[in-house]
Structure 1
């Protein structure tokens, strides 16, 4: 089994099984089979169901080669019908059986039958809800909801395969950098019910902070739920003990301890920090999936260094895991991704970092702000050599025109200033000293905004910031890179401050000194 033929999810599940984690029985369909299904060829759905025993409930999950390419929605509880509902009512209770059946019908109607989501989304488990959703399905399709599990599975597979090959899906994948021939595998997996007797529910858990990369258990758990429901409600429990409410560690300490062990196993054996999706059914733990933790640039650096220091990966691999441009970002303040973002303008990210300050519309005003010790954001239609003094005084630069090689972009990168250029949706009135956004909001001189040069956005107000990440992890990674480099590194410095910075970062000397900047 390979990622190229069966997708990342199938390959990851194979590794989890080899690590002896409690993964439910799973069957991976390769991309060639999925393409054949999309082209109209049949699939032996009954044969697939036979692999799971008598009367199984299963899910189908997408498995593209790269998780960032997305995919069709996961369908849960395939195989539910009146007979299976009656059996579940005996073992799990009437309410649990109704909730599972209702969820499947809603999901099938929206994602497989392609019916109007508004018709089905509003129904919630309760007296009469199951009867009502079956009535609505028949009214919309002129046929009863399919009872045959083989037909249900066949229709789900066909729907997911064709959704992947659709024009909209192709355009979305292309925007994410996927090749034209990007293929999709599908994973058919036995359901681990998170609804039922005893301790039952679902959740996700990870063991590092996605922003800082520091060790920290994060995630949520929701009793009597399936999939990623825990991330969609405020009623979910915390994972570790927390004064704000009840936690999984208190409700099921043995299960929590087992999850921590599984996380350590994934980190050591898969050589990556993983987010684990899990389900608990009547006190029994099942690991449904594991994906690489989404992380910021600073978290990625800290995780790579920590893994190298723990002997999980080599120092050379740690260096290769950090993109060079990420180091430039970490030298500057960054907008905290956990905080709110009120975006007022978007442009080209010309120079990384972030700064908050008062709007000024001329170099003279920028110099005046600098003289008073006030941070300011210089906004110009485009900059010229006459704006150099103002740029020196500003905390960041925003221009209506220009690209990555424009005057503002080149000078800002040289000065280490956050800069966004080509914000063509804003309208500047230099005479009235005001800026009008695409949605009609008006900002005048002195109003506070935040410029995010890393993402190419301007934000209203003072956004929450993260300081530069010049910590021990940063310096250690640079020392490892220094040990294996085969070229010399000299600085571009033409002021005493530049020379001091060059010494701070252990440059071997000055390679370029432009004397015109001294005078």
Structure 2
């Protein structure tokens, strides 16, 4: 076990053991929660296990007795702060267990909600809320997540069982199922775990907690996490922290909900609060796409207007405090707002340029900081065709953005056919489970390449980048059937000849012909480059063969 002064750091309303400066120990999520607590913002109480423990656990597969004792002390402190008791039948404390590395890795690692539920504690949740649907919905979600993350069964077996029940009831949304169906699903989910793993679902809350903690540590080495770190240059040596936080419930009815907000529009950089929310939902519903969320501006009406006003105030304060655009997760329970996360928001290249310049104009950062805030890959986006950030698109799947730009064409599943159609002047997208050297001529002919498997150093990725061709690899959720000339993605089937768009800048696979736009060097770009020119030491010459080339070079 690493030699550190402590392993666990608590936070709660008005105070925290840590701060934003402790990202290497608390991870980004834990550091954000601690900082928001220190600012006096409404944060549910909880504690964070140090990221320093992660690599030691992965190496040894063991967590020390000293750590278990320290967690037990902090759990008692959490019980006092929440006014509830972990495992209590009458007034149970439930917690979320979430990962959080020092460098943000959105959607890559694991989350388990409503931990602590069993056949006894669910009765306390039911009696306290007087809402059977809420109680059994929370229980169903917990067993489903635990089976996916801890027992590593994936989402599919549970999603199939849930879909079967919805079909029988002739409803489309989970929230339309009656309590008795949700209670039956809990039993069915436990049966799936027993049948596939040969061991029963753990009923004892302490066993549930440690199973979840270990699963979050293990998630650091899943393939998707390793690939994400390679793409984004994140060291493997950071590890992930584990955050254990008292549950607040967005699924208690129409005065409760959850959402994600950005303090500015991260598509184009406009200075306006935006994002999505759902009523009567928990956080996974927003990010998974299980339900279609509402634009956050719609909160500013009716019974949610007060919540929206407070969210706007907090968003402004967080952006000014961190001096950067924030990506915020929140939940409101019976009209009371809670902040669950704040982190630096991901943004497009055009948005990065505009935001950096406007933050200087508002006095939040210096010109030197603005230049450093826009990495070369963001500027690279400005010079490739891209999907219009304001376009409404249907995303089929998302993979690794292996080569930037965007392209539209007919889906084809064979390199020879791609070459033949291209010779006839048709634009094609080559779709393969993975590519090999034998597919090279098809890659040359295609507008873009999409593969279901492979990483950033796979054949398709290396060849496409070398040719400056748009490419997305390792698209999760896509099943490619070359003999059948089709692929499946999240319940949709795309056949040979159907039009798709591949967005190599974001990794999105889009149904139909998305609107593409050419980069435009606007006033914000010109201003940022003027600041750069004042500081640069290296001069650049260009090889221009035509007046148009010369004019373009001078623009850059």
Could you tell me the TM-score, scaled by structure 2's length? Answer: 0.67
1:238 paired residue among 295, 301, 310: 295
2:111 is equivalent to residue 87 of structure 1: no
User: How many residues end up aligned between the 2 structures?
Assistant: 453
Aligned to 2:214: 158
2:179 paired residue among 103, 119, 126: 126
2:144 is equivalent to residue 106 of structure 1: yes
2:537 is equivalent to residue 486 of structure 1: yes
User: Relative to structure 1, is the Cα distance of residues 17 and 166 closer, same or farther in structure 2, using a 3 angstrom cutoff?
Assistant: same
* Alignment partners' CA distance in 2, 1:188 and 1:456: 31
2:360 is equivalent to residue 308 of structure 1: yes
User: Relative to structure 1, is the Cα distance of residues 69 and 460 closer, same or farther in structure 2, using a 3 angstrom cutoff?
Assistant: closer
Aligned to 1:137: 190
After the TM superposition, which of the residue ranges 254-263 and 143-152 deviates more from structure 2? 143-152
Aligned to 1:512: none
Gapped runs of 5+ residues in structure 1?
242-246, 370-374, 383-395, 413-418, 424-436, 506-519
2:101 is equivalent to residue 61 of structure 1: no
TM-superposed deviation, 1:105: 2.3
Aligned to 1:226: 282
Q: 3-state SS of the aligned residue for 1:51?
A: helix
Q: 3-state SS of the aligned residue for 1:492?
A: coil
User: Relative to structure 1, is the Cα distance of residues 292 and 503 closer, same or farther in structure 2, using a 3 angstrom cutoff?
Assistant: closer
* Alignment partners' CA distance in 2, 1:3 and 1:182: 10
TM-superposed deviation, 1:30: 0.6
Q: Deviations over 1:299-328 (max 9, x none)?
A: 111111111111111111111222235334
Q: 3-state SS of the aligned residue for 2:241?
A: strand
TM-superposed deviation, 1:450: 7.7
Residue 394 of structure 2 contacts residue 510 of structure 2 at CA under 8 Å; is this kept in 1? no
User: Relative to structure 1, is the Cα distance of residues 340 and 193 closer, same or farther in structure 2, using a 3 angstrom cutoff?
Assistant: closer
TM-superposed deviation, 1:5: 2.5
User: Relative to structure 1, is the Cα distance of residues 474 and 48 closer, same or farther in structure 2, using a 3 angstrom cutoff?
Assistant: same
User: Relative to structure 1, is the Cα distance of residues 236 and 91 closer, same or farther in structure 2, using a 3 angstrom cutoff?
Assistant: farther
TM-superposed deviation, 1:180: 3.8
2:83 is equivalent to residue 47 of structure 1: no
Residue 134 of structure 1 contacts residue 145 of structure 1 at CA under 8 Å; is this kept in 2? no
* Alignment partners' CA distance in 1, 2:76 and 2:26: 21
2:527 is equivalent to residue 476 of structure 1: yes
2:501 is equivalent to residue 464 of structure 1: no
TM-superposed deviation, 1:355: 7.1
TM-superposed deviation, 1:128: 5.2
* Alignment partners' CA distance in 1, 2:521 and 2:183: 57
TM-superposed deviation, 1:22: 0.8
Q: 3-state SS of the aligned residue for 1:289?
A: strand
TM-superposed deviation, 1:260: 0.7
After the TM superposition, which of the residue ranges 472-481 and 134-143 deviates more from structure 2? 134-143
2:235 is equivalent to residue 179 of structure 1: yes
Q: 3-state SS of the aligned residue for 1:265?
A: helix
1:334 paired residue among 371, 383, 386: 386
* Alignment partners' CA distance in 1, 2:206 and 2:329: 27
Q: Deviations over 1:248-304 (max 9, x none)?
A: 543321110111111111211111211211111122110011233222111111111
Residue 98 of structure 2 contacts residue 216 of structure 2 at CA under 8 Å; is this kept in 1? no
Residue 64 of structure 1 contacts residue 70 of structure 1 at CA under 8 Å; is this kept in 2? no
User: Relative to structure 1, is the Cα distance of residues 103 and 268 closer, same or farther in structure 2, using a 3 angstrom cutoff?
Assistant: same
Residue 221 of structure 1 contacts residue 248 of structure 1 at CA under 8 Å; is this kept in 2? no
User: Relative to structure 1, is the Cα distance of residues 249 and 31 closer, same or farther in structure 2, using a 3 angstrom cutoff?
Assistant: same
Aligned to 1:74: 111
Residue 395 of structure 2 contacts residue 509 of structure 2 at CA under 8 Å; is this kept in 1? no
User: Relative to structure 1, is the Cα distance of residues 179 and 439 closer, same or farther in structure 2, using a 3 angstrom cutoff?
Assistant: farther
Q: Deviations over 1:154-202 (max 9, x none)?
A: 2221232234356786566556544343412111111112233672121
User: Relative to structure 1, is the Cα distance of residues 484 and 187 closer, same or farther in structure 2, using a 3 angstrom cutoff?
Assistant: same
Q: 3-state SS of the aligned residue for 2:48?
A: strand
* Alignment partners' CA distance in 1, 2:265 and 2:145: 32
* Alignment partners' CA distance in 2, 1:273 and 1:495: 41
Residue 99 of structure 1 contacts residue 125 of structure 1 at CA under 8 Å; is this kept in 2? no
User: Relative to structure 1, is the Cα distance of residues 176 and 89 closer, same or farther in structure 2, using a 3 angstrom cutoff?
Assistant: same
Residue 219 of structure 1 contacts residue 238 of structure 1 at CA under 8 Å; is this kept in 2? yes
After the TM superposition, which of the residue ranges 159-168 and 276-285 deviates more from structure 2? 159-168
* Alignment partners' CA distance in 2, 1:467 and 1:480: 24
* Alignment partners' CA distance in 1, 2:272 and 2:344: 15
Q: Deviations over 1:422-468 (max 9, x none)?
A: 99xxxxxxxxxxxxx99859999xx9998978689999975411242
Gapped runs of 5+ residues in structure 2?
1-17, 86-92, 163-176, 411-416, 431-439, 450-458, 473-481, 487-494
Residue 96 of structure 2 contacts residue 114 of structure 2 at CA under 8 Å; is this kept in 1? yes
After the TM superposition, which of the residue ranges 494-503 and 268-277 deviates more from structure 2? 494-503
Aligned to 1:32: 52
Q: 3-state SS of the aligned residue for 1:189?
A: strand
User: Relative to structure 1, is the Cα distance of residues 225 and 475 closer, same or farther in structure 2, using a 3 angstrom cutoff?
Assistant: same
Higher Cα Rg, which structure: 1
TM-superposed deviation, 1:474: 1.1
Aligned to 2:376: 324
Residue 37 of structure 1 contacts residue 157 of structure 1 at CA under 8 Å; is this kept in 2? no
Could you tell me the TM-score, scaled by structure 1's length? Answer: 0.71
Residue 273 of structure 1 contacts residue 293 of structure 1 at CA under 8 Å; is this kept in 2? yes
